Amino acid sequence: MGDVNVPALAYYSAQTQRAVENFPVSSWRLPPALVRAMGLVKYACGVANRDLNKLVGTGKNPLTAEQVEAMLQAALEVADGQLADQFPVDVFQTGSGTSSNMNVNEVISNRAIELMGGDRFAKEKPIHPNDHVNMGQSTNDTFPTAIHVAVACEIKQSLLPALERFRASLADKATQWDKIIKIGRTHLMDATPLRLGQEFGGFARQLTLSVQRAQVALEAVLELPVGGTAVGSGINTHPEFGKRVAAAVAERTGIAFVEAVDHFEANAQRDGLVECHSQLKTIATTLMNVANNIRWLGSGPRCGFFEVILPDRQPGSSIMPGKVNPVMCESLMQVAARVIGNDQTVTISGACGGNFQLNIMMPVMGHAVLESIHLMSHGVNAFIEFCMDGLEANPQACEASVEESLSMVTSLNPLIGYEKAAKLAKDAFATGKTIRQLCEDEGILPQDTLREALDPFRMTEPQI
């Protein structure tokens, strides 16, 4: 294909540079988590080939034991993020990820040569990017393997702790505010009373379910395609290779990765990734809902609900002095919107990209899923630190509207019937009186019975 100019200090070589020149699309590089996962997969592949006696003393260009160890060390350096600036290929590249796979192969090859005291700029590579680093592999099985590894690791290390922390924060507020009575709202209209703690307990349950969904999302990517090579047949690799690589990755990460049950499915389709992100989308829906509810509850301070007091984080207006906005709620809602949008990318890529033996939209799928995990993890942690930790209840605002609510009449249904209760509500609204005042004026029920029936706290629980 002719000569190509590679930056003088680069650890990558010609194939990477060609890809940089071919795809000047977005300036988005692969997510760091995916690059690190590719390094880890290359390390695991090297270990498997070493243990299967494929690298030393066999093949066209056998390595020495020292060269193998240098190759493994270089792979671990990539896995540890030490060479992060050496991966310049755009996300919108060849759909299999071949450009990025070769980018990693070249970096590991050249770094290993350097570790051995050799000339990494020499054209002839004693530790070859294809023959050695990529031995027993194809982009078609190792790139999706790296995506699965990166996604699972990020869910385990970042998303799950953030969601659990959010759940605990909401549960703590639910306990603290369990005695604060407020009015319920359905259809944005007045409803029967509940406790502020019950409301936040409902939010906490949403986050408990989100934690469970994140675990399901992780489980959806535990099968690794590695071992299928080009089309799933496993050509040019050892029969035990995939199993050994999965075991090595599992040992390094503490995540129960396994070899794919069927390599033809694992190479060709990314259904597991689609399933994974569908759970992430549901989590995003929950985050949007909780943040929006807290935003509404904090609206005001004089002309809204103001049942919770949001921490002041920054001036809210360039023209209205003293205005403060629910910025952390808005931030998390935007995160959720982006994740929901990413789900469309993942869904379309999974449905239309998997033709015959290969999906050809994997880089954008990996980018979208990892972006969703990153945004939700960081967005939730920021929301906890800058909103939840300083969130306060406003008991006066909560309790002020309870007695005024026309829905207080609901507890009278068992005593006077629905039709008569409905007339009381209409009369109370017309006269401006409370349900209690109207019942007392008209002698609807004995005082003791009325007092018990219209006890707001009693309305927040089932009754005999």
- Report yes or no: 139 and 97 within 8 Å, Cβ to Cβ: yes
Domain shared by 392 and 409, yes or no: no
Q: Looking at the domain assignment, is residue 386 inside a domain? A: yes
Q: Is 317 a catalytic residue?
A: yes
Q: Are 200 and 206 in contact (CB under 8 A)?
A: no
CA nearest to 426, candidates 409, 449, 443: 409
Find the catalytic residue in 96, 187, 263, 349.
187
Instruction: Give the residues across from 185 on adjacent strands.
Output: 190
Q: Where are the beta strands (DSSP E) in 143-240?
A: 181-186, 189-195, 223-224
Q: Does 18 reside within a domain?
A: yes
Question: Same domain, yes or no, for 390 and 408?
Answer: no
- Of the candidates 134, 152, 177, which is a domain's last residue? 134
* CA–CA separation, 258 and 87 (whole Å): 28
Backbone angles phi, psi at 394, to 5 degrees: -120, 85
Range of the domain at 121: 14-30+55-134
- The answer to whether residue 345 sits within a structural domain is yes
Q: Are residues 347 and 454 in the same domain?
A: no
Domain co-membership, 420 together with 371: no
Q: Residue-wise pLDDT tens for the chain (464 aa)?
A: 788 999 999 999 999 999 999 999 999 999 999 999 999 999 999 999 999 999 997 777 899 999 999 999 999 999 999 999 999 999 999 999 999 999 999 999 999 999 999 999 888 999 999 999 999 999 999 999 999 999 999 999 999 999 999 999 999 999 999 999 999 999 999 999 999 999 999 999 999 999 999 999 999 999 999 999 999 999 999 999 999 999 999 999 999 999 999 999 999 999 999 999 999 999 999 999 999 999 999 999 999 999 999 999 999 999 999 999 999 999 999 999 999 999 999 999 999 999 999 999 999 999 999 999 999 999 999 999 999 999 999 999 999 989 999 999 999 999 999 999 999 999 999 999 999 999 999 999 999 999 999 999 999 999 87
431 and 315 in a common domain: no
258: three-class secondary structure by DSSP: strand
Using DSSP, state whether 175 is helix, strand or coil. Answer: helix
The residues pairing with 378 across neighbouring beta strands, listed in sequence order, are none
pTM: 0.96
Cα gap 319→197, rounded to integer Å = 36
Kindly state whether residues 187 and 314 are assigned to the same domain. Answer: yes
Residues 383 and 412 in one domain: no
> CATH number of the domain that 434 lies in?
1.10.40.30
> Would residue 46 count as lying in a domain?
no
**Domain-ending residue, one of 378, 398, 418:** 398
Residues 122 and 264 in one domain: no
Q: Are strands 258-259 and 308-309 parallel, antiparallel or unpaired?
A: unpaired
d(CA 107, CA 100): 10
Whether 179 is in a domain gets the answer yes
The verdict on residue 41 lying in a domain is no
295 and 385, same domain (yes or no): yes
- CB of 196 within 8 A of CB of 182? yes
Query: What CATH number has the domain bearing residue 325?
Result: 1.20.200.10
Same-domain status, 145 and 277: yes
C-alpha separations of 63 from 49, 69, 305 in Å = 11, 10, 72
Check whether residue 178 and residue 257 sit in a common domain.
yes
User: Exposed/middle/buried for 265, CB within 10 Å: 0-12, 13-18, 19+?
Assistant: middle
Q: Which of 78, 82, 89, 81 is nearest to 43 (CA)?
A: 78
Contacts of 311 (CB under 8 A, 6+ apart): 328, 386, 387, 389, 390, 391
Classified as helix, coil or strand, 427 is helix
Domain count of the fold of the chain: 3
For 85-112, b/e burial (b = at least 16 CB within 10 A) is: ebbbbbbebbbbbbbbbbbbbbbbbbbb
Decide if 387 is inside a domain. Answer: yes
Please report the pLDDT score of residue 2 as a whole number.
Answer: 82
pLDDT at residue number 462: 94
* 60 domain residue, yes or no: yes
Q: Could you please report the per-residue DSSP string of 85-120?
A: GG---BSSS-TT-HHHHHHHHHHHHHHHHHHTT--T
Reading the block at residue 243, the tokens are 């199993």
Residue 187 a catalytic site member: yes
- CATH code where residue 20 lies: 1.10.275.10
Same domain, 62 and 168: no
Q: What are phi and psi of 6, to 5 degrees?
A: -105, 140
Residues 278, 317, 349, 378: which is the catalytic one? Answer: 317
Distance, CA of 459 to CA of 462 (rounded, Å): 7
End-of-domain residue from the set 398, 416, 444: 398
